[in-house]
Structures are given as structure tokens and as C-alpha cells.
Structure 1
């Protein structure tokens, strides 16, 4: 190694010398300055290389030079000792051998260290190679990550563009929705106005028709009056001995004078002319009175004839339950017997009216009347029993024939739920009460409202008597309306919110049920402040639509309590007659008593109907 280093140094020195000589040769030429410049540059590069290589191998060269020096020294000593033996040769030889051993030991240690260093270098080269490999992998992963990052950025830009487009579409749809809602509100307002205008036009048309019919009726009455007066002015004297009128009129004038004188002397009787009893005048009188009785309606005479109603002489106080059944799919709000007592109607929140036949102490389902879009609140039968009327939460009242499940008429016009619907004293008219604080009179032939009365409070129930309507309200008042004058003629105070009203069969007594847990009975003939109150321990009015009932003979009143018990009071003593418990699991909403006095039905909010009797 030293020889190589010395040789390289000599080569470099010779190169430098050659370069210097070539520089001296080129100097006289004129380009000597440029030659010295590149020469110095090369010399600097060579010196830099020598310094860098010398620094790298300086330690190794130094150690190796020391080793060589020691080796050469040991060889020289051995050769001298061999050539010139001396007395102290043995000691010197031993010392030399010792030195040799130390040198060999040092050489071995250095060799071992060199081997270890070579192994460490190999290990470090392996580690370095692994790190290079990992570095390349990380670089590749970095390149892949940057490519993925770039793709994701492009995807983000694309998604942002799509979101922007969707946002613009959403804004456009939102504007369209707002415009559509504004148009819908305008159309609703317009429809409301058109409905009001249509109702107003119908009312005007009804008023015009009523006035025209009134004028015609007055003209007919005037013509009939004239005919009657004309017939009354024509006088005929009839002889009791004559066999026939033509014989008396066929006599001669002389005989006529004689007969006249003779009849003047006798008791004579004045008769109307035969024209007064002619079929034409009798027909006119019949038509006049028929039109008066029908109230100017277009109903036929057959429809206006009233059917006889059974009269109950003595009602039976129920003692036990004959039948308990789940009558509806949801809670039941109303129950009503027909006038013949063989048919029961129930209605509830499942939006249907069910008809039940009452036979031999049991209820048999007969038909289901649908058509309402919301729950039923009140039910009423026509006195003849051919039609059934129901009030509904869908702001309307519906009319069915008993042989048809589709409504014959739907009376719409109220702005809130209809809480009561009853047939008036005229079979072609019905009265409805609503939560919109109005009471309306409807003509069924025209399916139009002919009268509307505004009240000061929520109407909970109403009943119809002859020429008057009685309504109960949430402001703790009972109002009596004259149907002819369209005005309130009397107000009766109540102790709480009125939940129901009921009339006795003879229309002489009015029963009211209030939220103060009290039933009151008023005599309509006197309208006095003296009232009969019915209370009982445990009785509690369960809701704002709890319906109480009077027995057909007017001797008992019945109502259902919030605890599922039916309470019955005696009217004559004002005492509790009996209680019917343990058949209802929730608040009783309505009680109905058959007109025959034989059965009582109670219904509750848990879909249950119970048929009671004393049998």
C-alpha cells in the first residue's frame, strides 16, 4: 500500500513537472497566461484528489507503516543475532521472541479488528441497502399517494361542481315550491271566496224561490178567496119536500114566487152554491193546505206523511247485560235507536256507522254505512225510520238510506267539525251545529243551507222541537231559537259546559248533561228556573261529548260515567235508581234508550257496546 501511495505521489509529481515544463515551453508563445491558468486548475484538482484520498487512507497507511517498521526491525535483529552470536544472545533472543509474540498478537488483533470492521461494513452495507430499498418503496408510495391525492383533489373539484349544480337545482325547486305554495294559498282563498259566493248565490236563489212561491201561494189564496166569496154570494133555497133541485128549478115563475113566499114564512136554511163543493175547488183547497204543510218544498206528499210512533207507557229499568260485543274497530262516540226500536245505529272514530238489528235480546250486525273521511260525532234517525243522519269531524253531515251504504247527501259548509245533526219537525229539513259557532238549517231536497245562525260559543249538541231549536254550548248556556224568526228567544244558564241535550218523547222535558257532573231536567212548558238535578257519588262526566238520555215514558234519566258505570235516576224522586257496573273498561260516551222502553244500550271509548234489559 505504501509503495502504491509513493508511486501515485511520484506519478503526480512527474505529471506536475511535465506540466510545468510544458508551461515553460508554451510561455514564450503569447498564450502563456492562458496556459498557466488551465495548468493551475489541473494542479488544484490533483492536489484536491491527493488530499481527499490521503485523508481517507491516512489511518490505515499509518498503522500499516508501523507494522512494517516493526516487522523489518524484528527481521534485522534476528539476522544480527544469527550472524553475531553473543553471550547475551539468549536473553536478546527471548526478548525478541517476546516482541515477536507481541507483534503477532498485535497483528492478530489488528487482523481480527479488520475482519470485524469488514463484517460491520457488510452489515452496514446490508442495512444501507435495506434502507435504500425502503426508501425506494417509500418514494414509490409517495408517488402513488401524490397521484391518489391529485385524483382526490380532482374528485373533490368534481363533487363541488356537482354540489353547486345540485344547489342551483335545489334553489330553483325551492323557488318553484314557494311559488306553488303561494299559488295554492291564492287558490284556497279563491276557492273559499267562490264557495262563499256560491253559498250566497244559493241563498239568494232560495230567497227568490221562496218569495216567488210565496207570491204564487198568495195569488192562489186570493183566487180561492174570490171563488169562495163568489160561491158564498150565490144563494139557493131548497125545499125540504122537493125531491130534487132540478124539479124546483123547472117550475114556472108563478110557482117560484109561491115557493119563495112559503119558504120565507118557514124556517129557511142558506146553502152555498154547488160550485163551492165542486171537485175543482176541493182540489185547490187540498193543494193549498198540502203546500202550507210541506213548507213550500218539492217533496212528494207520500214523503211528508208522518209515520205513527210507538208510545211507551212504562219503561223498564235495566238490571243485567244481555250482550257485550266489540262493535267497532276504534272508540264509539254515538248510539241511537230507531223509532221502531228494532234497529240500533252506532258510530265512532273508525269513520263508519254500523246498523244492528235488535232481536230476542241480542244485537246482529246488519250493515255498515261508510263515506265519512273522519270520525262520527252524532247520529239521528228520521221519524219514519227510512233515513239516518250523522255528523262528522270532516266538517260535514251525511245522509243515508237504510238500504244503501253510500251517502245519499253530504252537507258541507261548516268550517270546523260538526258536533250535532238532527232532523227538524219537517222531514225534509235537518239542523246541524258545529264548532265554528254556527247553527245551520238545511233543505234536503236542494241539498243547500237555507238558514245560518251565528252563536257566541262552541255548539256541543242540539235538539229540535216544533218551530224551535234548542242548543247547548261550551259557555255554560242553553239557547232556544225560533226557527221562523231566526233569533234566540231565551237563554238558560247551566252549571258547566253542556255536553248533550235530549228531549222527552212528548217534547215537554229537556235533559242536559254538563261537565260539572250533574244532569238537569227542565220543564219546557213553564221555562221556570226550577230544575231537577241528578247527582250521584262516583258519577263523573267523562268527556265534552258525553250523551245522556231520558226514558221514553219520561220517568227515568240515564248517563254513563268515566269509570264505566251506567247510572239511572228516578225522575219523580230525584234519587239514584240503580247502577250498572263491571261491563265497560273505559269512559262511557253515550247511552240510548229504545222507544219501546225495553232496552238500553251503552257504548264507550274502547269499542265496546253493551245491551241492557230487565229480562
Structure 2
């Protein structure tokens, strides 16, 4: 159909060109006729004056008239020849133009043929691509259906897991209840045994004849019984019985002393047995702190630690391990020995880019916040993720352990701060804030949060609301609390660091330096272990070190990082610092 249609319009074009040629020839013939008619009219017009003038000019000779007519006719013939030549030239030009247009028409036809061939090829390609698109659409629909099935299966499995966790918790509670009942039953049995033994001892004591006047040996014996010492039955039998009678007062006194002694012993054992549970919120033991910090001066080792940007770095409490986390969804542990970094382990299970890392005070667990709205808990030595804390609606930007065991705090871009019970794996409290949180610091009962609206807020874990607000000049990017919980170091986007006294909530020091520029909203600063120095990385890769006592810039460390430094950490021992940047580099300074 396409070829038939193409030949028809070509024939139409040829027919139109032929019609145009015929019209041009006809126009040319009409032009010639008009030229002849024009010449004849001119002759008639010229003859009329001559005819009118003949009677007036009768005196003229007929020969002269003929000569004049001849000349006029010759001039007309010359004029007609000139017009004929012009028309001939015009016809030649038009024929040349016609030939050129025929040539152009042939070129257009050939070009049209090639374009038609390209069109057919492109149409075939389009049909092929359309088939591929349809196939991909079917595959995408199948993959989407499979993804929906997997998501539904995941939710079902998650619900089953939660039910299993609840059943496990109920079983644990029932086991604990059974243990408590067994312990109570055992205590009751022990009490009955002790009461029976006590009654036997009392019966034996009542059978013994004791005189009213006691000998020194009997006094010693009674004193031993009063102190809780057991007297062997053989010694009792060997005692000399001096007097066959005893008074009622002495008997009642002996009975009361026996009862008091056994009752005290029984109460002591009950207290010792019940003291095993202890309080539910026990604190971590305090580790020895650094006395004096060594100022870093050179780089002892560098590593390309991750596949992409590194956001978080922290030391373990014993300064033996360094944990790093980045946008490549990896958490890596590095050993620090002899000024060298050695890769120890990669923790698995992270489902999003890491934004924050924190060791618990015992160094046995690591807490990590990530881009996919969750916080994950790992146990050191076990690469598998042990707990996933879900509940935030946006990226989790900070995660910190508290000084109370099995409790943590997280901050998120969803404008909430959450407290977590790590034993139960659930949120115990949610704090709603007007701005999203960039970092968190924790004391014993106080939670400190730094926000995008240039505010530092203080929250009491025992109360419902905010207890204190400290304004900043820029967006708060980092909070670091001193080991003695007396000072707070904040970093903000106005390129300043501030030291805040937590007792008075006043700013003690403000650190600025030429060349220092906060590189991002997650740039982290750190105190030294003895709180004598403040350390932070700049957007040009330089580390700035200030003295917190004098407020002066102590030194700058450069020529290692070629990109903005995201985070720094100071070893609790005071011997090392580490820094990470946006170009995957981890540096150890000594």
C-alpha cells in the first residue's frame, strides 16, 4: 500500500509539471499573437492619420508617401524582430529553468526514495523497540508483582517475628515467674526445716536442767549461742549439770535469745537471696580517664576505608578499636596498635548509609544510625546485627548510648528524639521538636539535642518538656560532652565552636580561626579526653585544634585530607586521634 501510494504522488507531480509546461507554451503562443496584433493595431493607427491627411496633403507626391510607409513598416518589422528575439531568449531561459527543475525533481525523487527507505527502516526499528518496551513492561509488571508478594511476605514474617518475640517475652516472664515461685517454695521449705530444727533445739534446751546460778562456762556457752555459733550436741551432753532446777526467768531469757539468733540468721539469708535482682536501672562502671592528652603532630597511617563518603568515626572505650561508617552501607572495625590501622571486621546487616556510630561504655556493643530511618545494634565480635530499632519516619542523624545500661537515644530529621529500651527493643519515649535534629549528647538524666533551627535544647528524662534552650548563630552540626559531664562542645554552620558550662548553661569560650569553615550539616567536633582541647575538621581538609583554657588556636594539621573532613574522634587514652573525609580516607594521627 505504501509503495502504491508513493508511485501515485510521483505521477501526480509529473502530470502537474507537464501541465505547467503546456501552459507556458500556450502563454508563449498567446504572447506571439499579441505581439502580431499589436503590430497590426499600430499600422492601423498610423494609417488612419495618413488617410485623413491625404486630402490635406494632396500636394505631396505619392512616391514620398510610399517611402514613408515603407520606412514605418521596416521599423515595425525591426521592432517585431526585437520582440521576437526577446521572447525567444525568454523561452530559452524558461526551457533551461525547466530542465534545471526537472533535474531538481529527479534529485528530490532519489532523495525521497532514500528517505522512504530510511523511514521504512526506522519504522521497523520502532516496531522492534515497541515490542521490547512491551516485553520490558510485562517483565516490570511481573517483578512488581513479585516485589509486592515479597513485601507482603516480609510483613507477614515481621508480624510472625513480632508475635514470636511477644511469645518469647511471655515465656521469659513465665519462666521468671516460675523461678520466683520455685525460689519462694524453696525458701518456705528451708524455713520449715529451720523452724523444725529450731523447735528441736528449743526442746532440747528445755529438757536440760539449768540452775539459777550459772557457772562461767555456762555464761560462755550462752554468749556463743547469742553470737549465732552452733554448739555441738556432744559438748552439750558433756556439760556438768550442777543444779537440777532452773527458774522461769532464766528459761524465758534463753528461749528469747535462741529465737532472736535464728530469726536474725534467717532474715540475713533472705536478704542475701533477694538482693540478686537488684535495681533495674544499674549504671555502667566508670572506666579510668586520661590524665594528660598528647597533642598530635603527624600522621602515622592512612587508609581508603570505604567505597564512598565516610560520615562517622568513633573509638572504643579502651582505645583499641576504631569504628567507621559511610554511605556505602558498611560498618568497619579497625585495630589501633603501634600507630597502625589494621582492618579487623566488617559488620553486616546495615541497610542504609551510616550517619552516626557510638560504643557503649563497656565497649561490647556498637550503635549505628542510618539513612533508611532505623538504628541498628551490633555486638562486638559478632558480625550479625542483633537489634533493629524502627519508629522514625525520616533519616536517623544521631544515635548515642546513655550511662544507664541498655538505654539509648536517637535523633532524626522527622523532628523527633526517641529514647529506647534495648532489652525490649522498643521506644520508651518520643520527644517532638519543632526542627529536625542533627546531633545528640547524653548525661545521666539529661538529653541534649542540636537542631537545624539554630537551637540547642535540654530534655530531662524524668520530665515531659524542654528544660533549657540555648540559641546559636548557625545550624548546629555537632554536640560533644566532656568526660566529667561538666562542659558541652558545639559546632555550628557559622564556622564557630562554643564551650558551654552545663552547670550555668553559659557560653565559656567561642573558637574561631581564619581558614576554618564548617563543611556540612553533619561535621562533628570532639573534646580531648582531659577536656583541655577542642578538635574539628574544616571544609579544606585541615584539622583545627584549640586550647579550651586559653581560647587560643593551638595548632593546625593539614596536607592529608583533600576534601572536607566530616568527623574526628579522640582516643580515650589521649594518644591518638582519627579523622575521616568525603573522599573515603581514614587518617590516624599521633
TM category, shorter: 0.5 to 0.7
Aligned counterpart, 1:293: 280
Tell me: CA distance 1:259–1:506, structure 2 relative to 1, closer, same or farther (3 Å). farther
> What TM-score do the two structures reach when normalised by structure 2?
0.60
Deviation digits for residues 462-489 of structure 1 (CA, Å, limit 9, x no counterpart): 1221122111111111112222334322
Pick the aligned partner of 2:569 from 583, 586, 592: 592
- In structure 2, C-alpha distance between the alignment counterparts of 1:360 and 1:176, rounded to whole Å: 56
Deviation digits for residues 347-379 of structure 1 (CA, Å, limit 9, x no counterpart): 112211111110111111111123223321111
Note if 1:488 corresponds to 2:482. Answer: no
Determine helix, strand or coil for the equivalent of 2:385.
coil
Aligned counterpart, 2:322: 344
- In structure 2, C-alpha distance between the alignment counterparts of 1:396 and 1:356, rounded to whole Å: 24
> What TM-score do the two structures reach when normalised by structure 1?
0.58
Deviation digits for residues 513-570 of structure 1 (CA, Å, limit 9, x no counterpart): 111111111122x233243211112111111000000011111111111111111111
Tell me: CA distance 1:256–1:598, structure 2 relative to 1, closer, same or farther (3 Å). farther
The equivalences for 1:506-517 within 5 A come to 506-517=484-495
- In structure 1, C-alpha distance between the alignment counterparts of 2:221 and 2:248, rounded to whole Å: 14
Aligned counterpart, 1:243: 223
In angstroms, what is the RMSD of aligned CA positions?
5.2
- Quick check: which has more Rg, 1 or 2? 1
Determine helix, strand or coil for the equivalent of 1:350.
coil
Tell me: CA distance 1:459–1:257, structure 2 relative to 1, closer, same or farther (3 Å). same
Pick the aligned partner of 1:558 from 535, 544, 561: 535
CA deviation after TM superposition for structure 1 residue 400, in Å: 1.5
Q: Does the 8 A contact of 1:310 with 1:595 survive in 2?
A: no
Note if 1:312 corresponds to 2:299. Answer: no
Q: Does the 8 A contact of 2:535 with 2:543 survive in 1?
A: yes
Comparing 485-494 and 534-543, the one that deviates more: 485-494
Tell me: CA distance 1:362–1:244, structure 2 relative to 1, closer, same or farther (3 Å). same
Determine helix, strand or coil for the equivalent of 1:569.
strand
Q: Does the 8 A contact of 1:336 with 1:345 survive in 2?
A: yes
Q: Does the 8 A contact of 1:310 with 1:340 survive in 2?
A: no
- In structure 1, C-alpha distance between the alignment counterparts of 2:286 and 2:271, rounded to whole Å: 30
- In structure 1, C-alpha distance between the alignment counterparts of 2:362 and 2:292, rounded to whole Å: 22
CA deviation after TM superposition for structure 1 residue 272, in Å: 9.7
Q: Does the 8 A contact of 2:499 with 2:507 survive in 1?
A: no
Aligned counterpart, 1:279: 269
Q: Does the 8 A contact of 1:469 with 1:483 survive in 2?
A: yes
Deviation digits for residues 496-526 of structure 1 (CA, Å, limit 9, x no counterpart): 11101111112221111111111111122x2
Aligned counterpart, 2:345: 367
| Structure 2 unpaired stretches of 5+ | 1-112, 188-217, 255-259
Q: Does the 8 A contact of 1:310 with 1:596 survive in 2?
A: no
Aligned counterpart, 2:333: 355
CA deviation after TM superposition for structure 1 residue 444, in Å: 2.3
Q: Does the 8 A contact of 2:459 with 2:465 survive in 1?
A: yes
CA deviation after TM superposition for structure 1 residue 307, in Å: 5.0
- In structure 2, C-alpha distance between the alignment counterparts of 1:256 and 1:554, rounded to whole Å: 73
CA deviation after TM superposition for structure 1 residue 343, in Å: 0.6
Tell me: CA distance 1:331–1:418, structure 2 relative to 1, closer, same or farther (3 Å). same
Aligned counterpart, 1:80: none
Tell me: CA distance 1:437–1:239, structure 2 relative to 1, closer, same or farther (3 Å). farther
- In structure 2, C-alpha distance between the alignment counterparts of 1:420 and 1:253, rounded to whole Å: 82
Note if 1:407 corresponds to 2:385. Answer: yes
Note if 1:535 corresponds to 2:512. Answer: yes
Aligned counterpart, 1:90: none
Tell me: CA distance 1:244–1:536, structure 2 relative to 1, closer, same or farther (3 Å). same
Pick the aligned partner of 1:442 from 403, 413, 420: 420
Determine helix, strand or coil for the equivalent of 1:442.
strand
- In structure 1, C-alpha distance between the alignment counterparts of 2:313 and 2:138, rounded to whole Å: 51
Deviation digits for residues 558-612 of structure 1 (CA, Å, limit 9, x no counterpart): 1111111111111111111111111111111111000000001111111112111
- In structure 1, C-alpha distance between the alignment counterparts of 2:354 and 2:464, rounded to whole Å: 28
Aligned counterpart, 1:427: 405
Deviation digits for residues 64-105 of structure 1 (CA, Å, limit 9, x no counterpart): xxxxxxxxxxxxxxxxxxxxxxxxxxxxxxxxxxxxxxxxxx
- In structure 1, C-alpha distance between the alignment counterparts of 2:315 and 2:338, rounded to whole Å: 15
Tell me: CA distance 1:432–1:195, structure 2 relative to 1, closer, same or farther (3 Å). farther
Deviation digits for residues 407-440 of structure 1 (CA, Å, limit 9, x no counterpart): 1222222111110111122332222111111112
Determine helix, strand or coil for the equivalent of 1:584.
coil
- In structure 1, C-alpha distance between the alignment counterparts of 2:517 and 2:448, rounded to whole Å: 24
Tell me: CA distance 1:417–1:240, structure 2 relative to 1, closer, same or farther (3 Å). farther
Tell me: CA distance 1:570–1:255, structure 2 relative to 1, closer, same or farther (3 Å). farther
| Structure 1 unpaired stretches of 5+ | 1-148, 225-237, 263-269, 296-303
- In structure 2, C-alpha distance between the alignment counterparts of 1:239 and 1:544, rounded to whole Å: 82
CA deviation after TM superposition for structure 1 residue 318, in Å: 0.9
Aligned counterpart, 1:604: 581
Q: Does the 8 A contact of 2:309 with 2:582 survive in 1?
A: yes
- In structure 2, C-alpha distance between the alignment counterparts of 1:523 and 1:570, rounded to whole Å: 16
Pick the aligned partner of 1:574 from 551, 563, 568: 551
